[in-house]
Chain A
Amino acid sequence: MKALVWHGTTDIRCDSVPDPQIEHPRDAIIKVTSCAICGSDLHLYNHFMPGMKSGDIMGHETMGEVVEVGAESKGKLKVGDRVVIPFTIICGECDQCKRGNFSVCERTNRNGHIAAKAFGHTTAGLFGYTHLTGGYPGGQAEYLRVPFADATHIKVPNSLSDEQLLFLSDIFPTGWQAAVQCDIEPTDTVAIWGAGPVGQMAIRSAILLGAKQVIVIDRVPERLDMAKAGGAITINLDEESVIERLNELTNGKGPEKCIDAVGMEAHATATIDSMYDRVKQATMMETDRPHVLREMAYVCRPAGTLSVPGVYGGLLDKIPFGAIMNKGLTIRTGQTHVNRWTDDLLRRIEEGQIDPSFVITHTVPLDQGPDMYKIFRDKQDGCIKVVLKP
């Protein structure tokens, strides 16, 4: 089959690889009908996340049709089922899964001992996302083996298009969880850093949850336009002072709720502290560029909440914990517990409250994926979200 394969830093190719096979009775194989490139795939493309090996298949936003089912998954899945595959692989049986904390499933990361060394404990296995999270082949391919398939799937109806459903795999529930972590009240101002795909979903989620005011910060005009269409007030960080403008929009009090939809790769030349971080990254003295965390901690209203769906990988420098402690801020973060939210979100799509397909700017065949990685990374051609068709 054809698949997008990681060969090294900024080197992704469309290769022919062996078809996946059932390896365990709980597995299933799906024929991929649509998959997408995620912003967090760019952390692998740029090789900021450790644990990739040449030959790894990329992708964790995937949907398709079940073509083969292992013996132990047959009660839950059958050939022909239309499914979206969540990016977190879940067993559905461990203590964390029973609590709904699917992204920290205790059993699906087959390299859990490596994750435990890095983070103290294992986290869930993820598709196409380093050997730290299990080294599972990803879904930017013609076929995907789904481990623990009896639990790791979202059945979807035929009445909706792939484009409406695909983002249940990651970015929609991720934006939703970011907003839910804020426990939004009707009087709240929610400030969101980053108008990429997750930021766009977080804006719509905050609007659905009834925030009084949603403000988004970015520097790419097209992304700001899309954010504005979704109901956000926009701040272009190249043109205005973010902190001054946020204070102005909140009568000097700061936003109650702040969402970091940027993560570890804050633009390296946009601010002085990011330049500092970039130098430290280059000299192996720091892994991430946490400009957004610093700015959120500074501007957030006392007793407010910082919600962090943006991906961080390792060790961060100069975090203003004095501001966080003295202002009594709450920090909520984590990879997304996809299946905890998807039944509710699917209903909202069906009811027409939201149509996540608004975010798609490019749809191309799978073999054009390598070029699209570069275009997406460089934010060229108005690129916000790429869907690949195998």
Chain B
Amino acid sequence: MRYETERTRRRGHADTATDTLARGLGIFSIAFGIAEIAAPRSLARALGMKGQEGLIAGYGVREIVTGIGILASKDPTPWIWGRVAGDGLDLATLATALEGRNPKKGNVGIAMAAVAGVTALDFYCAQTLSRESPHPLPPMQDYSDRTGYPRGIGQSHGAAQDFEVPRDFRTPEAMRPYSQPQAPQRPMPSM
């Protein structure tokens, strides 16, 4: 579980939404890993990657280990980053299947698009978790009553309009017609 930081108004609160997403990715990881171990031949055939069944089963083991890591650890952040790295490996491996005369190139393209989508989700999750704190920070202080006006803002707004701005701090007279909303006193000179 990670906690919101001073970047948000919910500082100190647990980020349960991202935690749920991380656990969902963990379950997905285990399920996909089991599929890779159980049916490497079918997957290899569908992707035109015959002869690489061992590699696919190996990737299945990686998925299961990562998934268990996400679900079993107190802080899933490093495991989710592990998934991002694994996604990169998957994409690189699939890219090799686009070479040559693979009749299943279409399937490979679909698989790459699916992996890219999961990669985006993994990256978002990992980045969000990394920005957060592993420990709950003290909740945000409430300064909404710190007005600084003992008699209320209504009484203080404009209370210093009696203050005469010193001559050396005033907007130069020549600039006033341009810096203020009223129209200039003289006709505008032509260029």
Contact = CB atoms under 8 A, between A and B. Distances in A.
A228 B171 contact: no
A209 to B, nearest CB: 5
Interface string A185-208: 111000000000000100011011
Nearest to A177: B169
Contacts of A205: 160
Contacts of A304: 179
Nearest to B154: A231
A186 B182 CA distance: 12
A208 B158 contact: yes
A204 B160 CA distance: 11
B161 A210 contact: yes
A204 B148 contact: yes
Contact of B160 (A200, A208, A225): A208
Contacts of A355: 148-150
B99 interface: no
Interface residues of B, number: 39
Contact of A303 (B149, B150, B156, B175): B175
Interface in A293-324: 301-305
A361 interface: yes
Interface in A337-390: 340, 344, 348, 352-356, 358-359, 361, 379-382, 384
B95 interface: no
A55 interface: no
A230 interface: yes
A353 B143 contact: no
B101 interface: no
Nearest to A360: B146
B8 A185 contact: no
Contacts, number: 123
B15 to A, nearest CB: 16
A40 interface: no
Interface stretch (B16-24, B32-40, B46-54, B134-142): B134-142
A387 B23 CA distance: 45
A60 B158 CA distance: 30
B156 A181 contact: no
B170 interface: yes
A226 interface: yes
A358 B147 contact: yes
A78 interface: no
Contact of A353 (B138, B156, B180): B156
A235 interface: no
Interface of A: 99-100, 180-181, 183, 185-187, 200, 204-205, 207-210, 219-222, 225-226, 228-231, 238, 256, 301-305, 328, 330, 332, 340, 344, 348, 352-356, 358-359, 361, 379-382, 384
